[in-house]
C-alpha cells in the first residue's frame, strides 16, 4: 500500500473548515442560514448517535454478558452493567481446556489472511476481464458466474467433499484456501460493478498511447478501485474469520482449528456456558475491530491521493 504523504486527514480538514466558516459567518447577514446549517449538523449527529447506539447493541450485549455469571446473562430486566463484573470470565475463557486462544488466533490469522490475499489477487484481475475487456462468450460466462451464487452450498457440499476426498486433500486447509486463488463469484461480481463506474475513455486513451492491457489494468484501473479492493479485503477477512463450517468439515486435527470453531467448546450437551462463551467471543472479536478501524480509514484516505477523474 502506498504510504500516506504529509497531509492532514479529511476529518481534520473538515473540522478546520467548519470552524473557519463559523468564525467568518457569525456576524454576517447570512448568519441565519449558517445557523440553520449548524442546527442540521447537530441534528445529524443526534441521529447518528441514536442509530449507532442501536447498531452497537449486539456488540455491547456481548461484552457485558462476558462479565456476567451464567445465570445472570438472561436475567430480566436486562442488567446493563453486571454487579459485580466477573473479569475472571476472560481469564477462565483464555485458559479453558479445548480453547487454546493463542493457537486458535494464529490459525484464524493464517486462514483469514491466506484467503483474503488469494481472493483480492484473483478477483481484482478476473473482474477486470469481465468489466473492460471484450471477448466472445463474456456475458454468458458472467451470468454463469452469478448463477453459481444461487445454488445453496448445503447441496453442493457432499459432492464437493467427495471431490476433495478423491484428491486426497481432507484434513488440511487446502480445500478451503486453494480454490480462492482462482476467484470468488461474489467478489468478481462486485469488482466488476466497481470497474464499470470508471470512465471507459481512460483505457481507450491508454491503448492509443500503446500500453498493453495488462499495464492499463495494473497502472490505471487498479489504483482507481482501491476503495473496493479494501472493502473486498475487509469483507473476506471478516467472513473467513467467522467461518466455522468449512474448517469443521475439512480439518481433522484440533490443533489446526480457528477461533470460530474453538468457540463451540463452550457449548454443553443441553446447555451453554454463556458468560464464558461471550468472553471468548469478545476476545475473538478484538483483532477484527482493530483491523477494521485501521482499514476503513485507509480506503477513504486512499482516494484522496489518486487524482479524482474530472
CA 6, CA 267: separation in Å to the nearest integer?
51
Quick one: 63 exposed, middle or buried, by C-beta within 10 A (0-12, 13-18, 19+)? middle
One of 112, 186, 240, 275 touching another protein (CB under 8 A):
186
Binding mask 254-293 for another protein (x = CB under 8 A): xxx--xxx-xxxxxxxxx-xx--xx--x--xx--xx--xx
Please say whether the beta carbons of 98 and 262 come within 8 A.
yes
Site membership for another protein, residue 309 (CB under 8 A): yes
Site membership for another protein, residue 57 (CB under 8 A): yes
Given the rule CB under 8 A, which of 28-36, 83-91, 183-191 is the region that contacts another protein?
183-191
One of 4, 39, 41, 46 touching another protein (CB under 8 A):
41
Given the rule CB under 8 A, which of 20-28, 29-37, 81-89, 217-225 is the region that contacts another protein?
217-225
If the CB atoms of residues 27 and 81 are measured against another protein, the closer one turns out to be: 81
If the CB atoms of residues 1 and 27 are measured against another protein, the closer one turns out to be: 1
> Which residues inside 138-177 make contact with another protein, applying CB under 8 A?
138-139, 141-152, 154-163, 165, 170-174, 177
If the CB atoms of residues 25 and 238 are measured against another protein, the closer one turns out to be: 238
Given the rule CB under 8 A, which of 21-29, 30-38, 53-61, 82-90 is the region that contacts another protein?
53-61
Q: Which residues have C-beta within 8 Å of that of residue 57, sequence separation ≥ 6? A: none
> Which residues inside 101-140 make contact with another protein, applying CB under 8 A?
107, 110, 114, 117-118, 121-122, 125-126, 128-136, 138-139
If the CB atoms of residues 27 and 134 are measured against another protein, the closer one turns out to be: 134
One of 26, 46, 48, 91 touching another protein (CB under 8 A):
48
Site membership for another protein, residue 217 (CB under 8 A): yes
Amino acid at each position: 500500500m502506498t504510504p500516506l504523504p504529509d497531509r492532514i486527514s479529511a476529518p481534520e480538514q473538515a473540522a478546520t473548515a467548519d470552524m473557519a466558516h463559523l468564525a467568518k459567518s457569525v456576524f454576517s447577514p447570512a448568519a441565519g442560514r449558517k445557523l440553520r446549517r449548524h442546527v442540521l449538523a447537530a441534528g445529524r449527529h443526534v441521529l447518528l448517535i441514536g442509530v449507532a447506539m442501536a447498531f452497537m447493541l449486539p456488540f455491547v450485549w456481548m461484552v457485558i454478558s462476558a462479565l456476567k455469571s451464567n445465570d445472570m446473562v438472561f436475567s430480566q430486566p436486562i442488567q446493563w452493567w453486571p454487579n459485580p463484573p466477573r473479569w475472571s470470565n476472560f481469564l477462565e475463557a483464555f485458559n479453558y481446556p479445548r480453547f487454546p486462544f493463542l493457537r486458535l488466533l494464529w490459525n484464524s490469522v493464517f486462514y483469514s489472511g491466506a484467503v483474503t490475499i488469494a481472493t483480492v489477487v484473483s478477483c481484482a484481475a478476473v473482474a477486470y476481464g469481465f468489466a473492460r475487456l471484450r471477448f466472445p462468450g463474456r456475458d454468458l460466462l458472467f451470468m454463469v458466474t452469478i448463477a453459481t451464487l444461487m445454488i445453496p452450498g448445503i447441496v453442493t457440499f457432499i459432492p464437493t467433499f467427495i471431490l476433495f476426498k478423491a484428491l486426497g486433500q481432507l484434513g488440511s486447509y487446502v480445500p478451503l484456501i486453494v480454490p480462492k486463488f482462482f476467484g470468488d463469484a461474489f467478489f468478481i461480481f462486485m469488482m466488476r460493478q466497481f470497474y464499470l463506474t470508471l470512465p471507459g475513455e481512460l483505457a481507450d486513451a491508454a491503448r492509443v498511447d500503446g500500453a498493453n492491457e495488462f499495464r492499463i489494468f495494473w497502472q490505471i484501473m487498479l489504483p482507481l478501485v482501491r476503495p473496493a479492493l479494501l472493502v473486498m479485503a475487509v469483507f473476506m477477512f471478516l467472513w473467513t474469520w467467522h467461518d466455522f463450517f468449512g474448517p469443521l468439515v475439512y480439518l481433522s486435527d484440533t490443533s489446526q482449528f480457528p477461533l470460530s470453531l474453538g468457540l463451540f467448546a463452550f457449548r454443553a450437551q443441553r446447555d451453554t456456558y454463556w458468560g464464558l462463551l461471550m468472553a471468548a467471543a469478545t476476545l475473538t472479536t478484538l483483532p477484527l475491530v482493530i483491523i477494521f478501524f485501521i482499514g476503513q480509514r485507509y480506503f477513504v484516505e486512499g482516494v484522496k491521493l489518486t487524482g479524482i477523474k474530472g
